[in-house]
Structure 1
Amino acid sequence: MNALEWRAVFALGALYALRMLGMFMVLPVFALYAGHLPVPAQPWQIGLAIGIYGLTQALLQIPMGMASDRFGRKPVIVAGMLVFAAGSWVAGATDEIGWIIAGRALQGAGAVSAAVAALLADVTRDAVRTMAMAILGAGMGLAFVLALVLGPLVAGWIGVDGIFRLTAVLALMSLPVLLLGVPTPPPQPPQRGSLRAVLADRQLLRLDVGIFLLHACMTAVFTVVPLAIVQTMDMPSAAHWKLYLPVLVLSLVPVFPLIRYAEGASRLKAVFVGMVALLAGALALAALGHGVAAVLVAALLLYFIAFNFLEGALPSMISRLAPVAQKGAALGVYSSAQFLGAFAGGVLGGLGLQYGGIGGALAAAVLLPIIWLAVAAGMGPVNASRPPAARADNGIRI
């Protein structure tokens, strides 16, 4: 990648990290916090408070992505981050679960993932876009692990309501990073993103199904993996980051060489399908051997290798295949499928755990990449090496 592309990746990665760090820090401490409110929250209210963020995200990614096609990426991202900050402040300024739920819903209404991915696609060349998306995804993964470590510590200092308010501050801090740090792509004539055209494209729909299944798989897995770690490795939940962090870092070692290999000589589809197969194999290994510590760790390592590659490849492929005028709309459908998949995977993991235990839940998760293999097999070739423009920074304003 050239200097402008690196600058865009790091700036947008910082925006994602500042936004998601506060969101993730709430997860390990919210249930206990909600149970000790002046009027303690009911279990269904706790679940609704956690899940409603994903629901509003899923509902609004498409219109926000289409709006970015028409009004520009940066204005839509700024508006979304302001809404997200407002929701964070609402959730942190109350001790009533109803208002916390409303704040979480408002947080989700700041649905900027599609617009951010479209902006990154606008300012990177085809030949390096998968690498750029993978770096962005890896940064989010590291932010997740860091948040799991910091959540209980920060809650002890400023409380969970303080975490919500801190999240609002971090969201506002991300705006100068966006406006000053990310190159501005050349202006395009205002366009109405055609949702019908996006939904009629079978190639794009195969990729939307893929992100749905990938994130369904992720939430199903991590509904039960923490339990497996406790039972098999006798590791308390507060120490799980000591396993996740090195496994995640090690998983990145082969991912970037794989991306470089896949980008050459039109090998992207073959490597992509291979990573889906690796995902299925990793989950099968976990389902069969989760009671053995070494097998569980190996399965997690293989899982993260496949996940990190696919998380980077999917939005890159979407951005290549989508028409220029509908790129935001296409990434909006993609992002909605992603959040709906996370919701569906949580349901699948919970039901699998209830009726089949840890092994049953992991076995149910194996079905998802197997279905994905059938879908991906019919995918057409993805041009991984289209001739670049004369200069990658042509027309991009600093």
Structure 2
Amino acid sequence: MARANQTQMFPDEWRASTSLAGVYALRMLGMFLVLPVLSLYAAGLPGAEGNAALAGFAAGMYGLTQALMQLPLGIASDRFGRKKTIYFGLILFAAGSFTAAAADTWLMLVVGRALQGAGAVSAAVTALLADLTREEVRTRSMAMIGLSIGITFSASLVLSPMLTGVIGVKGLFLLTGVLTLASILVVAFWTPDPQVSKLHEDAQAQPSRLREVFADRRLMSLNFGIFALHCGMMALFASLPFVMEGLGLDKTGHWKVYFPATLLGLILMIPAIIVGETRGRLKQVFVIGIVLTAAAVAALMLSLHSLWLIGACLIVYFVGFNILEASQPSMVSKIAPADLKGTAMGVYNTLQSVGLMSGFWLGGWLFQHHGMYAVLSFVVALTLVWLASAAASPAPKPVKTVALRVGGAWTGRQQQLSAALGTLAGIEQISFSSDGETVYIKAMQKGFDEAAAKAIILGE
């Protein structure tokens, strides 16, 4: 019944959602497609000479410039326009891809990766999507972006080693650059132009309110979690390819290990997330995901002599990883005030980039100077710290956020509207956008009458 009453997207909203999900996924492609083979490739360039630490530095440079540029480009989109900022970011990204493709030294690869990361268009893309969608369908649009990222990640781990055997790592960078240029055309000619651009508190970061996010211990626990998750994964990708190559598996064949791990990880993650969301056990599922990643990395310490055992450990790892990737944004959404969600997600995404950078740098350095067991010990220790933090944090309430445009009858009467909505059961929080045109309702998933709330807001 709920599905039958679901607000349908307009054609322009569908065009905006699908095209911008593709642009967002392409940005992730620049990181993921080369991920399984980049460390080995970088270590073979002049200037690195087999040095895993230098290889990790080159790979992690993407995360550094991405973290630095994410917020500035988001602010630039407010001042100079959404599409202009996206064009600028994608041109930087394409320039970085072509530079990396042409790189014949380690230093040139570092420059290419830095340019790729500097094209951090995610905040501008999110802002444009918010401009082009109504409050009632925006959550669905954002979910399409999340789905595109998940598919890109899993497909990249499998396709990367296979494509490397055909076009090489240089070809991967070149392909990414060409696809980026194509995405500029998609944004220009397929993505609709917004009639009005404004701040959307549920989707965009507000620099003036960053302190509120940093002061929230539950949000910062999740921010540390996404840092730890990506730091640990990148530390593995900075070092594990060297181990598999040492066992006789050429980098073009690494997909044989990654394919079953990523496929089964996705399949087994789905029922866990369904149970967590529908039965109010999201924290329990979340903690299980952390335990699985820690156990898998610990088991790798005893499995480095066998490709089969490495593959089995990675299956367990990616089950946990996918659970955590899917559940953490949902938990941020449940914990953050509705009018602070965009800012909370902005900090979250930035810490993800910092984790990417740190993982490559630390993983490469530890592998170069202390070996694979040091890398694994570091990842296990980091994950156990995260586990302790997550276990101590209260479980988020099973809530959802509803954003609705305020009816004309309530213009300038926010307090009265808040009082009228307060009579409904299941509402946890009511807040308004800065312009007073949108009301954000955080309500329990069960027991809240959304139809009644809409009738009040519309003045019916």
> TM-score normalized by structure 2?
0.68
Cα distance between partner residues in 1 of 2:358 and 2:289: 22
CA shift, 1:130, in A, is 7.1
CA distance in 1, matches of 2:241, 2:219: 34
2:295 alignment partner in structure 1:
281
Of 182, 191, 198 in structure 1, the residue corresponding to residue 213 of structure 2 is 198
Which of 151, 172, 176 does residue 167 from structure 1 map onto?
176
Against the structure 1 CA distance between its residues 357 and 47, is the aligned structure 2 distance closer, same or farther, given a 3 Å change threshold?
closer
The 3 A distance-change label for structure 1 pair 94 and 365 is: closer
| Count of residue pairs the alignment pairs up | 384
Cα distance in structure 1, aligned partners of 2:193 and 2:161? 32
Partner of 2:26: 18
AA in 2 matched with 1:57: Q
Corresponding position of 1:336:
350
Query: CA offsets, 1:160-214, max 9 Å, x none?
Result: 3x65454332112223545636997996447743222332222221111011100
Q: Considering only aligned residues, what root-mean-square deviation do their CA atoms show, in Å?
A: 4.1
Does 1:104 pair with 2:113?
Answer: yes
1:131/1:187 CA distance change after superposition, 3 Å: closer
Q: Secondary structure at the match of 1:291?
A: coil
Deviation of 1:154 after TM superposition, in Å, equals 1.9
1:239 counterpart letter in structure 2: G
- Conserved 8 A contact 1:204-1:318: yes
1:214 lines up with 2:222 in the alignment: no
Measure the CA separation in 2 of the matches of 1:317 and 1:118.
21
Q: 1:267 aligns with which of 274, 281, 301?
A: 281
Larger mean Cα displacement after TM superposition, 267-276 or 127-136: 127-136
SS in structure 2 opposite 1:289?
coil
Matched, 1:151 2:164: yes
- TM-score of the superposed pair, with normalisation by structure 1: 0.77
- Structure 1 window deviating more from structure 2 (335-344 vs 205-214): it is 335-344
On the 8 A contact 1:20/1:144 being kept in 2, the answer is no
- Deviation of the 1:284 alpha carbon: 1.4
Q: How many angstroms apart in 2 are the aligned matches of 1:246 and 1:267?
A: 28
TM-fit CA distance, 1:367: 1.0
Distance 2:386 2:127 in 1: 24
Greater fraction of residues in helix: 1
1:215-243 C-alpha deviation (Å, 9 max, x unpaired)? 111012223322443455x4222211122
Q: Deviations over 1:340-375 (max 9, x none)?
A: 212322344335435653334223211121010111
Q: 2:18 and 2:200 mapped to 1: Cα distance?
A: 28
Which secondary structure state, in structure 2, belongs to the residue aligned with residue 386 of structure 1?
strand
Tell me which residue corresponds to 2:152.
Answer: 139
- Does the CA contact (< 8 Å) of 2:94 and 2:181 recur in 1? yes
Aligned to 1:224: 239
Residue pair 2:127, 2:200 contacting (<8 A) in 1 also: no
Distance 1:101 1:218 in 2: 20
Residue pair 2:97, 2:113 contacting (<8 A) in 1 also: yes
Structure 2, unpaired ranges of 5+: 404-449, 455-460
Residue of structure 2 in register with 1:80 after alignment: 89
| Post-superposition offset of 1:323 | 4.6
Rounded Cα–Cα distance in structure 2 between residues aligned with 1:128 and 1:193: 24
* Bigger strand share: 2
Alpha carbons 1:64, 1:332 under 8 Å: kept: no
**How much does 1:17 deviate?**
4.0
- What letter matches 1:225 in structure 2? L
Q: Who wins on radius of gyration, i.e. which is larger? A: 2
Q: Which range is displaced more, 280-289 or 89-98?
A: 89-98
Which string of whole-angstrom CA distances, capped at 9 and with x for unpartnered residues, describes residues 295-324 of structure 1?
A: 322211010111112122223333444455
From 306, 312, 335, give the equivalent of 2:320.
306
Confirm or deny: 8 A CA contact 2:99 2:109 kept in the other structure: yes
303-312 or 218-227, which deviates more: 218-227
Would the aligned equivalents of 1:56 and 1:109 in 2 still touch at CA under 8 Å?
yes
Q: Shift of the alpha carbon at 1:278?
A: 1.3
Point out the more displaced range, 364-373 or 142-151.
Answer: 142-151
CA distance in 1, matches of 2:42, 2:139: 46
Contact 2:39/2:56 (<8 A) preserved: no
Task: After superposition, give the CA deviation of every residue in 1:86-137 in whole Å (9 maximum; x if it has no partner).
Answer: 4334555786776654443222211124555677797867699779635522
SS in 2 for 1:288: coil
Q: Secondary structure at the match of 2:371?
A: helix
Segments of structure 1 that go 5 or more residues without pairing to the other structure are none
AA of the residue aligned to 2:232: C
Q: Indicate if the aligned counterparts of 2:39 and 2:237 stay in contact, CA closer than 8 A.
A: no
Pick closer, same or farther for the CA change 1:24–1:272 going to 2, 3 Å: closer
The equivalent of 2:73 in structure 1 is 64
Cα distance in 2 for partners of 1:136, 1:185 equals 28
**Whole-Å separation in 2 of the counterparts to 1:220 and 1:33:** 15
On the 8 A contact 2:60/2:358 being kept in 1, the answer is: no
d(CA) in 2 for partners of 1:254 and 1:355? 36
Kindly state the Cα deviation for residue 244 of structure 1 after the two structures are TM-superposed.
0.7
1:138-172 Cα offsets, whole Å, 9 max, x none, are 322312432332134224xxx83x65454332112
Cα distance change, pair 12–273 in 1 and its aligned pair in 2 (3 A) = farther
SS in 1 for 2:120: coil
Question: Quick one: which amino acid aligns to residue 375 of structure 1?
Answer: S
